[in-house]
Chains A and B, each alone.
Chain A
């Protein structure tokens, strides 16, 4: 996909109005995964708006989002950054093909430090 198609696809998948962002940073201020991310929620929105999406696709950041939706809840512009992150992630996963997580795989991946929310998020992320 070329840059423009990629941007349009992400906007279509996420339903997010990235151009409404006023760069307040409330998404990144709210993000519990901030320290683990190379690109932070506000940068996801900014880079998608600019059409600079390959950087995001190549970054581990797409897997760090917990999908807690705090940013979606608090964004004063209704941009819904978590949906943007999810859309970028889905593009990458779909390109990779059939590497989906099955519910039966979860016990094998279990880590005692893993928050419960992360399991729910993992289901959301990998079973699509």
Chain B
């Protein structure tokens, strides 16, 4: 004989203002098998939990139904309370009468009726609950960080500092990411490379960190605590161990006209190259699309000059398989395509550039040695126009609906530094809003306007027309003066929207991590779990989760590392016992369940069965690995013979809930 206790929460006025809590208690108390029913202002409070514990002991309850907020909020709380009173925690059911009832309804009578129905369904399910015992799984004490920009570097350093081994996988030949390309950092104006490169060196020297550069994640399997990852180490055609990074090959290579990605195509590199002087690892790489030796077997000069004998034209991609307990996505961002905005004439004029290109043109290690010169004719520009929100806050198909967050500040930085270095240059910034929340940020922007004489104009640029004399005719609106302006500019800088790395979507699929419509990784909770993916064991660091500047990225990277360290410090993880299992007598081995399983939890066994005529027969049947299964239930829906069932959410329980709702 089942004895069910029902506990209805007011949640202050969150539930009680829309649902007649007493009426719910009275109605549910009359349900069969219910021996106790009570309400309380805050069931999740200490005294609310004591009410539940006391009732379990006093009435010897065999099941508990709590009508409260979403089980995502407090199911764990109530299960713990039940367990401490001696009841198996999986005999607790939560009926969500807040998010799915009181918050979304206005009419009290209707909401009350719905709350009673939801409670009744939970009671029907609770009557069929069986005690479950959670299994344990081991934790591989190694982390994988995907992406070697400042986010990945900081996360890896912090994890390594705590004593756990970390691998960084970076698709480019060097770590460093976008921060390595930036000239100065706001709001303190310290040199970006000067603060970044020591961290890159630290990564290389830390014995807990391994760097897989020029590598990509090929596949991911497993689950929190024990992921198996295949990493593709792309062929560099240079032996990583032998190469000393002397750079002789990069000087002798006869192919001199390859656009240099690091300088955004403003200058050229050779077919064999080291991305930049402080690259980590400082190992050359041969570009297979441009190397004559690899293309048609004619050259071999680099091999002849290399004293270390490191050049190996026969090198092939290598697949490495590694095991990890936690995976961090730190895939960063890219600059969105500004050619979609024809009015800015980006493709028509070399003197219309993006802000990242401006960084390279002002960087001492850049193509101009840090002297700001026009890309078209190498002359010093005297009038520069900066345009904000190019592609950001744009709801059209070609744009990004979000604010890219960093542009207001870096534009203020560019404008300020230009005025400081070249006081004869007039600088105009066209803005929609200047957004500078952050420590010392607004002060920084105001300095650009007040002390450095940057002309901030509230309004937009409508059109840019390149003139025959090499100037750019900028047509714009000044909304405060209510007038249309024409500025003859020498250089126009577009604050292009940032967008998640193009590799992120593919990676998210491999990680079964969710993304939003803009391809930013979704966090488990936007406020309370901002560095974790909803998929257990997957963590988020940097811009792959949403636009952020360097200080924010570094803080988030540290927070992410703390979460990873917390996971890796555990020896065992308690699993979720609500997993699928197959009734071998009903299973016909059709593979429908394995085909839909997103976690690869289902395998097939050839098993001997005794037949009615006392013969034995070998049949192929499904077998679920409970450590891998996440309890999504896809297999139970796909199974044509009804052999698959989910503990805690069995087919009969769900039908009982439906029956209770329809009663």
Interface residues, chain A, with chain B CB atoms under 8 Å away: 20, 22-31, 34-35, 40, 42-43, 70, 74, 76-78
In the assembled complex, 19 residue pairs joining A and B whose CB atoms fall closer than 8 Å, in A order, are: A22-B393, A23-B479, A24-B389, A25-B432, A25-B479, A26-B462, A26-B477, A27-B462, A28-B462, A29-B460, A29-B463, A29-B475, A30-B343, A31-B462, A34-B477, A40-B482, A43-B482, A76-B399, A77-B393
* A29-B484 contact, Cβ under 8 Å, with A23-B479, A42-B477, A74-B343: yes
Q: B217 on the interface (CB 8 Å rule)?
A: no
Please give, as numbers and ranges, the residues of chain A lying within 8 Å of B476 by CB-CB distance.
Answer: 29
List 17 other contacts, CB 8 Å, given A25-B460, A76-B389, A76-B399. Answer: A22-B393, A22-B432, A24-B389, A24-B432, A26-B477, A28-B462, A28-B484, A29-B459, A29-B462, A30-B463, A30-B475, A35-B484, A43-B482, A70-B463, A77-B393, A77-B394, A78-B396
B393, B394, B458, B462 interface centre (most CB from chain A within 10 Å): B462
Please give, as numbers and ranges, the residues of chain A lying within 8 Å of B389 by CB-CB distance.
Answer: 24, 76
By the criterion CB–CB under 8 Å, are B459 and A24 in contact? yes
Please give, as numbers and ranges, the residues of chain A lying within 8 Å of B482 by CB-CB distance.
Answer: 40, 43
Give the contacts of B463-498 with A (CB-CB under 8 A).
Answer: 463, 475-477, 479, 482, 484
Please give, as numbers and ranges, the residues of chain B lying within 8 Å of A28 by CB-CB distance.
Answer: 459, 462, 477, 479, 484
Q: B461 on the interface (CB 8 Å rule)?
A: yes
The 4 lowest CB-CB distance pairs between A and B, nearest first, are A29-B462, A30-B462, A29-B477, A76-B394
By the criterion CB–CB under 8 Å, are B459 and A76 in contact? no
Q: B395 on the interface (CB 8 Å rule)?
A: yes
The minimal Cβ–Cβ distance linking A109 to chain B, given in whole angstroms, is 28
By the criterion CB–CB under 8 Å, are B396 and A76 in contact? yes
By the criterion CB–CB under 8 Å, are A26 and B460 in contact? yes
Q: Which residue of B lies closest to A43 (CB)?
A: B482
Interchain CB contact (< 8 A) of B432 among A23, A35, A40: A23
Q: Which residue of A lies closest to B459 (CB)?
A: A25
Please give, as numbers and ranges, the residues of chain B lying within 8 Å of A74 by CB-CB distance.
Answer: 343, 462
Please give, as numbers and ranges, the residues of chain B lying within 8 Å of A30 by CB-CB distance.
Answer: 343, 462-463, 475
Interchain CB contact (< 8 A) of B462 among A23, A70, A77: A70
Interchain CB contact (< 8 A) of A76 among B393, B458, B475, B477: B393
Assembly CA distance A21 to B460 (angstroms): 13
The minimal Cβ–Cβ distance linking A50 to chain B, given in whole angstroms, is 16
Assembly CA distance A27 to B476 (angstroms): 9
Assembly CA distance A106 to B395 (angstroms): 40
Give the contacts of B306-355 with A (CB-CB under 8 A).
Answer: 343
The minimal Cβ–Cβ distance linking A25 to chain B, given in whole angstroms, is 4
The minimal Cβ–Cβ distance linking B123 to chain A, given in whole angstroms, is 47
Q: Which residue of A lies closest to B398 (CB)?
A: A76
Q: Which residue of B lies closest to A20 (CB)?
A: B395
Assembly CA distance A31 to B394 (angstroms): 19
Please give, as numbers and ranges, the residues of chain B lying within 8 Å of A20 by CB-CB distance.
Answer: 395
Taken residue by residue from 104 to 118, chain B's Cβ proximity to chain A (1 for < 8 Å, 0 otherwise) reads as 000000000000000
Please give, as numbers and ranges, the residues of chain A lying within 8 Å of B343 by CB-CB distance.
Answer: 30, 74
Please give, as numbers and ranges, the residues of chain B lying within 8 Å of A35 by CB-CB distance.
Answer: 484
Assembly CA distance A77 to B462 (angstroms): 14
Assembly CA distance A70 to B475 (angstroms): 13
The minimal Cβ–Cβ distance linking A69 to chain B, given in whole angstroms, is 13
A20, A27, A35, A76 interface centre (most CB from chain B within 10 Å): A76
The minimal Cβ–Cβ distance linking A110 to chain B, given in whole angstroms, is 28
Please give, as numbers and ranges, the residues of chain B lying within 8 Å of A31 by CB-CB distance.
Answer: 462, 484
Please give, as numbers and ranges, the residues of chain A lying within 8 Å of B479 by CB-CB distance.
Answer: 23, 25, 28, 42
Assembly CA distance A31 to B461 (angstroms): 11
Please give, as numbers and ranges, the residues of chain B lying within 8 Å of A76 by CB-CB distance.
Answer: 389, 393-396, 399
Please give, as numbers and ranges, the residues of chain B lying within 8 Å of A43 by CB-CB distance.
Answer: 482
Assembly CA distance A26 to B393 (angstroms): 13
The minimal Cβ–Cβ distance linking A74 to chain B, given in whole angstroms, is 6
Interchain CB contact (< 8 A) of B395 among A23, A26, A40, A78: A78
Assembly CA distance A27 to B432 (angstroms): 13
Please give, as numbers and ranges, the residues of chain A lying within 8 Å of B460 by CB-CB distance.
Answer: 24-26, 29
B389, B432, B484 interface centre (most CB from chain A within 10 Å): B484
By the criterion CB–CB under 8 Å, are A77 and B463 in contact? no
A22, A29, A40, A43 interface centre (most CB from chain B within 10 Å): A29
Q: Which residue of B lies closest to A37 (CB)?
A: B484
The minimal Cβ–Cβ distance linking B507 to chain A, given in whole angstroms, is 29
Give the contacts of B428-484 with A (CB-CB under 8 A).
Answer: 432, 458-463, 475-477, 479, 482, 484
Assembly CA distance A40 to B482 (angstroms): 8
Assembly CA distance A34 to B462 (angstroms): 12
The minimal Cβ–Cβ distance linking A44 to chain B, given in whole angstroms, is 13
